[in-house]
Amino acid sequence: MCNHIFADSTRERFKRRGNFQCVYCLDDLTKQPERQSLDHVIPQHKGGSNQPNNVVLCCISCNSRKNGKSLKQFGYYMEIKIHGYDRLAMHRRVRNQLRRKMPVLEQGWND
Ligand SMILES: [Zn+2]
């Protein structure tokens, strides 16, 4: 959702910061570029920004499942959907990712 708003280099930096893994369901997205998606933790329509402290890497399915939900609502939703889902661990992963510095790209990525 809304991936077009970021430059390619910015998308790449978000992906690297997220270790090419869905922060919500932990799927490894390294070899699945078509499933890589960027999510606004606080949805844009609720005032969430495009800044690194509000954007995480996730998979397309989690992004569409989260949709306009708050992180808290989404955590409860995932607990119902996925047996054994650890909502608090997910909250921690999201917090940690948002805090992490955006990686610097090597030359050739400037746009
Ligand atoms: Zn996912």
Domains of the chain, by residue range, sit at: 3-99
Distance in Å, CA 61 to ligand 1 centroid? 6
Distance in Å, CA 106 to ligand 1 centroid? 28
Evaluate if pTM is beyond 0.85. yes
pLDDT value of residue 23:
98
Distance in Å, CA 107 to ligand 1 centroid? 30
Q: Which residues pair with 56 in a beta bridge?
A: 39
Measured distance CA(36)–CA(61) in Å, rounded: 10
* Digit-coded pLDDT (tens) for 53-86: 999 999 999 999 999 999 999 999 999 999 999 9
Cβ atoms of 16 and 103 within 8 Å: the answer is yes
What is the third-level CATH fold of 3-99? Answer: DNA Binding (I), subunit A (1.10.30)
Question: What are the structure tokens assigned to 86, written together?
Answer: 């650890």
